[in-house]
């Protein structure tokens, strides 16, 4: 007891407190120094191993191409294709090291690789995980395979045909609004805003049988979806926000969580109410009711609630919520982008809008084994993700045009 009292007195004294702080600060500096050295050594190693690929001009050896992934950077993709023809390496500071592929001969062997060795990287998809969970879009391995089998029926052409009336109705609302605005003297319209609301309106009706009236009035859920899209894009552009422990303390991170709560609450309520309804319906329906129910148009949530795997097991509520959130995220923005570019290209008296302006600017992958590219270039399995620029406007090869990815990881028409 006396010894303990002596130790505590020493530690709590001014001299002892200074010693503790000195030891703590020295340890902290040592940890930061070791992390920095490891980061720089890793950057040097990647720079050397990727030297077989051409490298566009960088800001510096350390920063690489950091800061060039903005909208202005996207406009430079055509210049990259013209200059480097098939591929180039791309560094985002010392943190991320990518190989960008443009030529179909380089893209094809990678996208056609078995799904078992192809995984979604964390560069982009990690930031979507709080929103989309372990959905089909960002899962891997057996989890991905099972969900792919379960969700495929929801995208059958015969099912999608039933939604045409919904699409037409939502488009008419948008067109009527345009006519009203023009009659009021409006001479300029931000098309993407209007088209995004139309695609969200359509998806809410198709996915949840929910009429939000979002094209004519504000909707808390729709506003949250739009904000999450915007915040996810902004996070990509700020390298410091790639670390969760920094991002969640920022104002943007707090806004993201607030919008996330709104979206998850809405989806959770819809899924739980629909599961309860379907359960009660099965208990009370007669034979004639069964036939009537079979003829009734089912929405996306209905279909994935009823689907079962070979063992008779369906998706949990959490899994269904993740897929529904992914459906809304991956469906509305890409569709709105494609429609807007189509309108633009029609105004320019041209066609092939998706080839000219792909709604998904790029997809990324990592591989669990070495992959050989033309010219005996080898992508090591330890390398960070490969980035595929989807539209080679001149080539007619099978993998020159991949607006929504290709190969085993091609996930229907809305998910890259």
Supply the angle between the helices 220-237 and 191-208 in degrees, to the nearest 10: 120
Q: What is the pLDDT along the chain (416 residues), one digit of tens a residue?
A: 565 556 555 555 666 667 777 788 888 889 999 999 999 999 999 888 888 889 988 878 888 887 755 556 666 777 888 888 888 888 888 888 888 888 888 888 888 888 778 887 777 788 899 999 989 888 888 888 888 888 888 887 777 788 889 999 999 999 999 999 999 988 888 899 999 999 999 999 988 888 889 999 888 999 999 999 999 988 988 888 989 999 999 999 999 999 999 999 999 998 988 888 888 877 776 555 555 555 556 788 888 888 888 888 889 999 999 999 998 888 888 889 889 888 888 777 666 666 666 666 666 777 777 777 776 665 544 444 445 455 555 556 666 666 556 666 655 443 33
Q: Residue 231 is part of which domain span? A: 152-285+294-351
Query: Within a domain: residue 204?
Result: yes
Read off φ and ψ for residue 67, nearest 5 degrees.
95, 0
Q: How far apart are CA 181 and CA 213, in angstroms?
A: 17
CB distance 64 to 93 below 8 Å: yes
In a domain, 321, yes or no: yes
Task: Pinpoint the alpha helices (H) of 121-219.
Answer: 122-125, 129-132, 141-151, 157-161, 164-183, 191-208
Q: Into how many domains does the chain fold? A: 1
Task: Indicate whether 112 belongs to any domain.
Answer: no
- Is residue 185 in some structural domain? yes
The answer as to whether 79 is a domain residue is no
Is 26 within the bounds of a domain?
no
Say if pTM beats, i.e. exceeds, 0.85: no
Domain assignment present for 160: yes
Angle at which helix 2-12 crosses helix 14-49, to 10 degrees, equals 70
Report yes or no on 8 lying in a domain. Answer: no
- Tell me the helices (H) and strands (E) count for the chain, helix number first: 18, 7
Which CATH number characterizes residue 164's domain?
1.10.630.10
């Amino acid at each position: 007891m006396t010894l303990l009292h002596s130790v505590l007195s020493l530690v709590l004294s001014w001299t002892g407190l200074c010693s503790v702080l000195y030891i703590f600060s020295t340890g902290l500096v040592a940890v930061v120094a070791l992390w920095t050295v490891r980061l720089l050594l890793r950057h040097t190693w990647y720079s050397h191993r990727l030297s077989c690929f051409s490298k566009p001009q960088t800001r510096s050896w350390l920063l690489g191409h950091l800061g060039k992934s903005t909208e202005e950077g996207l406009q430079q993709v055509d210049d990259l294709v013209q200059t480097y023809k098939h591929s180039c390496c791309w560094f985002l500071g010392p943190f991320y090291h990518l190989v960008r592929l443009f030529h179909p001969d380089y893209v094809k062997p990678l996208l056609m690789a078995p799904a078992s060795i192809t995984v979604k990287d964390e560069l982009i998809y990690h930031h979507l995980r709080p929103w989309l969970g372990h959905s089909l879009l960002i899962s891997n391995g057996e989890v991905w395979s099972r969900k792919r089998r379960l969700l495929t029926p929801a995208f059958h052409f015969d099912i999608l045909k039933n939604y045409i009336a919904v699409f037409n109705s939502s488009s008419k609302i948008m067109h009527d609004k345009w006519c009203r605005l023009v009659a009021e003297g409006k001479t300029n319209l931000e098309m993407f805003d209007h088209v995004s609301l139309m695609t969200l309106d359509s998806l809410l009706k198709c996915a949840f049988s929910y009429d939000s009236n979002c094209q004519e009035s504000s909707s808390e859920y729709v506003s949250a979806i739009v904000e999450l899209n915007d915040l996810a894009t902004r996070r990509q552009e700020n390298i410091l926000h790639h670390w969760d422990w920094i991002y969640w303390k920022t104002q943007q991170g707090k806004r993201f969580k607030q919008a996330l709560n709104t979206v998850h609450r809405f989806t959770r309520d819809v899924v739980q109410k629909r599961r309860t309804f379907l359960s009660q319906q099965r208990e009370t329906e007669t034979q004639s009711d069964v036939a009537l129910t079979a003829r009734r148009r089912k929405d996306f949530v209905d279909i994935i609630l009823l689907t079962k795997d070979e063992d008779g097991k369906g998706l949990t509520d959490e899994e269904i919520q993740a897929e529904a959130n992914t459906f809304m995220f991956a469906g509305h923005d890409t569709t709105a982008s494609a429609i807007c570019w189509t309108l633009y290209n029609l105004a320019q008296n041209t066609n092939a809008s998706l080839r000219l302006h792909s709604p998904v600017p790029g997809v990324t992958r990592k591989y669990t084994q070495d992959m050989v590219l033309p010219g005996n270039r080898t992508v090591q399995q330890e390398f960070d993700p490969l980035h595929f620029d989807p539209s080679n406007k001149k080539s007619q090869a099978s993998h020159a045009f991949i607006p929504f990815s290709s190969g085993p990881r091609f996930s229907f028409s809305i998910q890259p």
